[in-house]
Amino acid sequence: MKFCDECGSMMQTEDDTWVCTQCGYEEGRDAADEADMVTTQGQEESEIIESSGGTSGLPTTTAQCPNCDNDEAYWYMQQIRAADESETRFFVCTECEHKWREDDH
C-alpha cells in the first residue's frame, strides 16, 4: 500500500504508475520498494474456533450484583469513550447474568 506524498490519500496502481485517488498525483512504480511492502498474499489462514458464547471464559471478581445480591461476577474492560479517556469495566453476574458497568468518576 502506498500513500500520496501530496495529500496523504491511498494510491492505486495503473500499469507502471502509482496514481492518487483523490488529487491525481502520479509517481512511477519501483519494484524494489514494492518488494518490501507487506501484503496478505501468502499469509496462512487462521483456524476459526466455534465459541459456545456466554461468559465462562472471563475472569471473575468479588462484586455485588444490584439485581440478585450475588457477590461474584465476571468482568471485562471495553473502550467505549474517546481514546484519551479510561476504559469502562463491565460486570456480568455469575448467578442471574445481570450486566452492569463501572465508570471512573
What average pLDDT does the chain have? 80
Confirm whether 97 is domain-assigned. yes
> Does residue 50 sit within a domain?
no
Q: With 50 as the cut, is the pLDDT of residue 21 above it? A: yes
The position carrying cell 447474568 is 97
Number of domains present in the structure of the chain: 2
Identify the band that residue 96 occupies on the pLDDT scale cut at 50, 70 and 90: very high
- Is 74 in contact with 94 (CB distance < 8 Å)? yes
Q: Would you state the pLDDT for residue 68?
A: 94
Q: How far is CA 86 from the centre of its chain?
A: 16
Q: Annotated catalytic sites, by residue?
A: 84-85
Q: pTM (2 decimals)?
A: 0.46
C-alpha dihedral sign at 19, 23, 27, 32: negative
Average pLDDT over residues 23-31: 87
Residue 4's pLDDT is what? 85
Q: Is residue 51 part of a domain?
A: no
Within a domain: 64: yes
Q: Which residues form the domain of 11?
A: 1-36
Is residue 41 part of an annotated ligand binding site?
no
Does any domain span residue 94? yes
Q: Is 58 a known ligand-binding residue?
A: no
Which domain CATH number covers 79? 2.20.25.10
Q: What are the tens digits of pLDDT across the range 34-83?
A: 777 766 665 566 555 444 455 567 889 999 999 998 999 999 888 877 77
On whether 96 is known to bind a ligand per the annotation, the reply is: yes
- 31 and 64 both lie in a single domain: no
pLDDT of residue 6: 84
- E strands of 3-98, at which residues? 11-14, 17-20, 26-28, 60-62, 72-78, 88-93
Q: Is 65 annotated as a binding residue?
A: yes
In a domain, 65, yes or no: yes
3 belongs to a structural domain = yes
User: Is 30 annotated as contributing to ligand binding?
Assistant: no
- 95 lies in a domain? yes
